[in-house]
Amino acid sequence: MRFSKLQATGNDFILIDARTPGVMPSEAQDLAKLARDLCRHHFGIGADGLILVQDSELADVKMRVLNPDGSEAEACGNGLRCFVKYVIENGIVDRIDLNIETLAGMRRAKARMSGEQVSEVQVSMGMPQFKPEEIPINAQVDITPILDYPLAIGERTLALSILSMGNPHAVGFLSQPVAGFPLADVGPKVEGYPMFPHRTNFEIARVLSNGKIEARVWERGVGETLACGSGACAIAVAAQLLDYGDRQVDIMFPGGGVTVVWDGVGEVLLSGPVEEVFTGESRT
């Protein structure tokens, strides 16, 4: 099985062209096992997710994303940027503007070329969703958007802004550097909190200026990662709603920075660099 490994600001993914019949297992449980096996560090290729290229009747191409635990993700911004580079450079799509079918809906993307290579990708991540049933959450709230919602985790109370970017996010802003936050301890507790029926991604962020925010992320089904595209969008949206950030903001993760643009009404735009790490063949 031929694969490529790509990374976008440290978020790394295994990409496979699954359009040919028989290349991938047909049963969902077998596909989940494949994702778990391939994404394991040390014993597999190692990655934050497995991305499949499939044919689409609605768009230029279809993307499916499986987490390292075998669950399927609705949306993945950095994975989408890797996907665009892969399909263009492998001749699957022959233009730099394309439409992509995802589990979260249609996504538009535009690649920036450096010679024959894709160096940067901007993707439309759709419109943020704020209603409890859209996120979804099991909680009674009187006002949306849900900003600074108090969530008790042990002796710690977090003020979370909760929304969906095609997948659920809970964003907490700190006054101290994010490097000192005990994310490995708090992250899984927020991810699996009962109010989130599908679990949630959890981001902590600190505003450095109106145009720059530092952040770390605990991804649902993955754990802490070096970056998260949909998480960056959730942070930027929450910051703007709380009057912390501008319409354009750079989100700085441990793996690098991405730029998010939101006009407060329409779709959120995510852009940043993307690189191929290596290609190979797996016998899994």
pLDDT in tens, 142-151: 899 999 999 9
Look at residue 20 and tell me whether its pLDDT is greater than 90: no
Burial profile 29-43: b = 16 or more Cβ within 10 angstroms, e = fewer: eebbebbbbbbeeee
221 torsion bin: left (phi>0), alpha (psi -120 to 50), beta (else): left
Pairwise CA distance, residues 122 & 100, whole Å: 13
**Choosing from 39, 82, 228, 233, which is the catalytic residue?**
228
User: What is the CATH code for 2-126+272-281?
Assistant: 3.10.310.10
| Vertex 56 angle, CA 52 and 59, to 5° | 110
pLDDT for the residue numbered 15: 98
Pairwise CA distance, residues 206 & 121, whole Å: 25
Residue 52 contacts residue 19 (beta carbons within 8 Å): no
Q: pLDDT digits over 221-271, tens only?
A: 999 999 999 999 999 999 999 999 899 999 999 999 999 999 999 999 999
Establish whether 82 is a catalytic residue. no
Please give the distance of CA 110 from its chain centroid, rounded to a whole number: 17
Question: Which pair of structure tokens corresponds to residue 52?
Answer: 């499949």
Closest by alpha carbon to 74, among 104, 48, 53, 108?
A: 104
Pairwise CA distance, residues 164 & 144, whole Å: 12
Which helix (H) or strand (E) segment holds residue 221: the answer is none
pTM of the complete model: 0.93
Residue type, 161: S
pLDDT for the residue numbered 22: 77
User: What is the CATH code for 146-266?
Assistant: 3.10.310.10
Establish whether 39 is a catalytic residue. no
Work out the pLDDT band at 156, boundaries 50, 70, 90. Answer: very high
Q: pLDDT digits over 52-86, tens only?
A: 999 999 999 999 999 999 999 988 999 999 999 99
Say if strands 201-209 and 168-173 run parallel, antiparallel, or are unpaired: parallel
Pairwise CA distance, residues 232 & 210, whole Å: 15
**Choosing from 39, 76, 82, 233, which is the catalytic residue?**
76
| Domain layout of the chain by residue ranges | 2-126+272-281, 146-266
